[in-house]
Amino acid sequence: MICPLGSTFFGLTSTHRIGIFNQIHEIVFHGNGGYDWNTVYNMPIWLRKYTFKNIQTYYKEASEAAEANTSSAKTKDLFGPDISPSYSTKASK
């Protein structure tokens, strides 16, 4: 029997699965050892989304802070030491 709705299985499509696995990977990778794959996979969806959003926010703010530090370092004028020459071009006798 063919289902008139097209799909007989009500589950995740391949694009949704890739998105979930990418999210799990990002939490495990950027969690600095705080999470393992199995824990994140079995995490409630609301908690996984909350954790992912917090990690994403943290790294975005860190990136912006690092970018601000490098851009402010580029705009500063660098001056050499204030050394005036105290030598003479004539040889002493």
Q: What is the average per-residue pLDDT within 52-64? A: 93
pTM, rounded to two decimals: 0.61
Does residue 81 surpass a pLDDT of 70? Answer: no
What are 5-35's pLDDT values in tens digits?
666 666 777 888 899 999 999 999 988 888 9
* Structural element, H or E, at residue 41: helix 37-41
Confidence of residue 59 (pLDDT cuts 50, 70, 90): very high
Residue 66 pLDDT greater than 80, yes or no: yes
Percent of the chain exceeding pLDDT 90 equals 45
